[in-house]
């Protein structure tokens, strides 16, 4: 089971997605399915078949969000010790090859690796959690030959940018 924490911004995005699915997208697809059904033979009606499939996908996501949102703990404040890595931290790592990487530890419902948002449950997050500035970490990563390789990095910056959402 994934950790049930989320930033205020991530929570607001999920609520907005649920609202959009329920009020806009579902209504549009229901109307499209009704229009396609009115055309007659449903067994060979691609618009009808696709619409029903899309409606199932929307309903599945609505059910998930409806169950997930009440279980999430929204983290609105940085931890008392901002010199260590905890949820919501933007962590900059310096690898032994002089490459830098900045990641932000977020809940599993708001990950976007291309933007540096990684899950608090990820191996990298677990390696840095609770560590102070200047700590060295050792990461075990998959190697191309199927084994594992070890990569060393140093935490060179820790920053918290947790902002409350407008509805807080």
Cα-flanking dihedrals φ and ψ of residue 36, to 5°? -65, -35
pLDDT of 163: 54
pLDDT in tens, the chain (168 residues): 678 999 999 999 999 999 999 999 999 999 999 999 998 888 888 999 999 999 999 999 999 999 999 999 999 999 999 999 999 999 999 999 999 999 999 999 999 999 999 999 999 999 999 999 999 999 987 888 988 889 999 999 999 986 544 444
The reply to whether 5-73 and 77-160 are identical in fold is no
Q: Where are the domains of the chain?
A: 5-73, 77-160
Q: Quick check: helix, strand or coil at residue 126?
A: helix
pLDDT of 42: 82
- Indicate the class that CATH gives domain 5-73: mainly alpha
- Indicate the class that CATH gives domain 77-160: alpha beta
């Amino acid at each position: 089971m994934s950790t049930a924490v989320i930033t205020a911004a991530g929570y607001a995005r999920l609520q907005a997605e649920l609202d959009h699915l329920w009020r806009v997208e579902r209504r549009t697809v229901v109307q499209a399915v009704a229009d396609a059904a009115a055309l007659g033979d449903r067994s060979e009606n691609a618009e009808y078949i696709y619409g029903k499939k899309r409606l199932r996908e929307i309903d599945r996501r609505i059910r998930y969000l409806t169950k997930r949102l009440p279980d999430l703990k929204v983290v609105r404040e940085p931890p008392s010790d901002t010199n260590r890595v905890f949820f919501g931290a933007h962590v900059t790592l310096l690898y032994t090859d002089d490459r830098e990487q900045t990641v932000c530890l977020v809940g599993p419902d708001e990950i976007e690796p291309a933007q540096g948002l990684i899950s608090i449950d990820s191996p990298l997050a677990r390696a840095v959690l609770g560590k102070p500035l200047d700590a060295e970490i050792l990461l075990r990563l998959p190697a191309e030959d199927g084994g594992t390789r070890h990569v060393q990095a140093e935490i060179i910056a820790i920053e918290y940018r947790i902002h409350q959402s407008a509805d807080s």
